[in-house]
């Protein structure tokens, strides 16, 4: 192409702005006061519900709970990533380096043990312990609770997050968490659950419409027994809408 034509094109065409698919979501998590407020708000509300739940022996937050649970010791079930642990720095690296998610990148990040703590989480967990409530972590991290050198064990300890080996339920086979919730519910009365993904509470459907229907169906649980920590950067919601930008654009409601 001749230099004159190139110059003309560059003047006439609008500048192409680079697309960073996760920039807004990651910036919101890392810089907004609203994110700190939202997670703190969720954990404070969870703390109030924990008091109600402790006083009511018929209260359970888990559909996996059997019928005879009134005499069981109390527990809470939490997810780890984007619920207790903040991996937004991992997202930030992908944005800055223009990389897409891969399991290899994720495992490398986990090994670094550099995740932060979500605002409000540590205080909530310490309050639970003080009240005699056992915190269980049901996570899809591949980790080894018995190993002091395990990166997840290390990062939990680094943030002084209440931790005991038998209460860290790592992913061993499926990422579906129902069976691990069942294990907890067999021995404990589950007072409440905290997570950033629908699957942290119940097995969620995989389409946008069915997920919305199920969220409405469980409306009595939200904010009483189930507490959601906002995570706009990734999750099963994204697989439901479609990972490609075109999929998301296609689902946007424009009211035209």
Q: Which residue has its beta carbon closest to Mg ion?
A: 81
Beta carbons of 119 and 40 less than 8 angstroms apart: yes
CB nearer Mg ion, residue 86 or residue 196: 196
Q: Closest separation between CB of residue 82 and Mg ion, Å?
A: 4
Any contact of residue 150 with Mg ion (CB under 5 A)? Answer: no
Q: Closest separation between CB of residue 229 and Mg ion, Å?
A: 8
Please report, as residue ranges, which positions from 101 to 120 form the binding site for Mg ion (by CB under 5 A).
none
Tokens of 255: 């009211």
Q: Closest separation between CB of residue 231 and Mg ion, Å?
A: 7
Rounded Cα gap, residues 50 and 46, in angstroms? 6
CB nearer Mg ion, residue 177 or residue 189: 177
Any contact of residue 86 with Mg ion (CB under 5 A)? Answer: no
Rounded Cα gap, residues 161 and 78, in angstroms? 12
Q: Closest separation between CB of residue 28 and Mg ion, Å?
A: 17
Beta pairing partners, 190: 75
Tokens of 100: 């897409």
Q: Closest separation between CB of residue 12 and Mg ion, Å?
A: 47
Any contact of residue 81 with Mg ion (CB under 5 A)? Answer: yes
3-class secondary structure, 21:
coil
Q: Closest separation between CB of residue 102 and Mg ion, Å?
A: 18
Any contact of residue 82 with Mg ion (CB under 5 A)? Answer: yes
The helix or strand, by DSSP H or E, that contains position 184, with its residue range, turns out to be helix 178-187
Beta carbons of 147 and 184 less than 8 angstroms apart: no
Please identify, among the stretches 29-37, 120-128, 190-198, 213-221, the one whose residues bind Mg ion according to the rule CB under 5 A.
190-198
Strand order of the β-sheet with 74-78 is: 168-169, 134-138, 74-78, 189-195, 226-228
Any contact of residue 79 with Mg ion (CB under 5 A)? Answer: yes
Q: Burial level of 133, CB count in 10 A (0-12/13-18/19+)?
A: buried
Please identify, among the stretches 44-52, 60-68, 76-84, 176-184, the one whose residues bind Mg ion according to the rule CB under 5 A.
76-84
CB nearer Mg ion, residue 72 or residue 163: 163
Given candidates 196, 226, 227, 234, which one binds Mg ion under the rule CB under 5 A?
196
Angle between helices 23-31 and 88-97 (to 10 degrees): 140
**By the criterion CB under 5 A, which residues form the site for Mg ion?**
79, 81-82, 196
């Amino acid at each position: 192409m001749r230099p004159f034509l190139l110059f003309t094109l560059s003047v006439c065409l609008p500048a192409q702005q680079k697309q960073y698919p996760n920039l807004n979501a990651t910036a919101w998590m890392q810089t907004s006061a609203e994110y700190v407020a939202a997670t703190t708000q969720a954990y404070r509300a969870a703390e109030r519900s924990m008091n109600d739940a402790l006083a009511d022996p018929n209260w359970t937050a888990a559909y996996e709970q059997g019928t005879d649970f009134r005499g069981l010791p109390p527990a809470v079930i939490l997810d780890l990533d984007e619920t207790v642990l903040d991996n937004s720095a991992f997202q930030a690296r992908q944005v800055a380096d223009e990389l897409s998610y891969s399991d290899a990148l994720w495992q490398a990040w986990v090994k670094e043990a550099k995740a932060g703590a979500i605002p409000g989480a540590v205080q909530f967990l310490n309050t639970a312990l003080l009240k005699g409530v056992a915190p269980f972590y049901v996570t899809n991290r591949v980790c080894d609770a018995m190993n002091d050198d395990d990166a997840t064990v290390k990062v939990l300890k680094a943030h002084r997050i209440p931790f005991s080996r038998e209460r860290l339920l790592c992913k061993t086979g499926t990422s579906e968490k129902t069976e691990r919730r069942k294990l907890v519910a067999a021995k404990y009365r589950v007072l409440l659950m905290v997570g950033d993904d629908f699957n942290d509470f119940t097995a969620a459907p995989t389409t946008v419409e069915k997920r919305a229907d199920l969220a409405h169906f469980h409306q009595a649980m939200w904010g009483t027994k189930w507490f959601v920590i906002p995570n706009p950067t990734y999750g099963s919601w994204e697989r439901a809408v479609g990972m490609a930008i075109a999929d998301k654009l296609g689902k946007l409601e424009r009211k035209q």
